[in-house]
Amino acid sequence: MAKLLELTNVHSYYGHIHALKGVSLEVNEGEIVTLIGSNGAGKSTTLRTISGILHAREGTVMFNGKDITHTTPHQIVDMGVGHVPEGRGIFPKLTVQENLDMGAYTVNDSKLIKERMELVYETFPRLKERVSQYGGTLSGGEQQMLAIGRGLMLNPHILMLDEPSMGLAPVLVDLIFDTIKRLNEQGTTILLVEQNALMALSIAHRGYVLQTGSIALTDDAAKLKKNEMVQKTYLGIE
């Protein structure tokens, strides 16, 4: 598989706080790769560094063979990096349709926009039923669907999802993870940050364990599920 994303010895800071301490990871085209770890481990910071919201002070971020370490966020979006942040971040005073239109603001091909819109509504029929409803009036699960749908409107080469199951009822968690798996089977590469480590490792091909800003462990997802440290610390298995 072709290497799509690669971080090499990345150090990122919030002011004087050293958030990422030499993170190296890679995502191959067609994979689901998950980052697991405790709160404050650096998972969201990793995604922000990739998407250009935060720039690494040391190390490199390569995407599709290009160095994007110091590239601006809108240029990274143009390259095909979709980022669905923690907390969904939808536009509450815009309709479902308008939110999705905003996701395609960098796409100039009207035919492609129509195709992506059809894909989103096919993936999330509930959104089609609420096309004229304001985003802020949707349930938490519907808002998460809208956030993912908006990310798909970009026609991304890679879709980065930050805590997509947070705050959702178990039945909706299952729906979201089934959707992520289906999107991957349809060709979308996924980088998944998720507190629910068991669910994440159940659908991922590979995983990385982050601890206090550093990669503590990496392996195939199936092997990580059987790892004693992962089971005790993240899966609640004694």
Q: Could you tell me the domains of the chain?
A: 1-80+156-238 (3.40.50.300), 86-155 (no CATH)
Residue written as token pair 């980088």: 191
Residue 93: name the closest of 127, 135, 141 by CA: 135
pLDDT in tens, 158-208: 999 999 988 888 888 898 999 999 999 999 999 999 989 999 999 999 999
What is the rounded distance in angstroms from the CA atom of residue 214 to the CA atom of residue 87?
24
Mean pLDDT across 145-157? 91
Which residues have a Cβ under 8 Å from the Cβ of 1 and sit 6 or more positions away? 28, 29, 30, 31
pTM value is 0.93
Please check the confidence at residue 237 and state whether its pLDDT lies above 90.
no
What is the rounded distance in angstroms from the CA atom of residue 88 to the CA atom of residue 91?
9
What is the rounded distance in angstroms from the CA atom of residue 37 to the CA atom of residue 73?
25
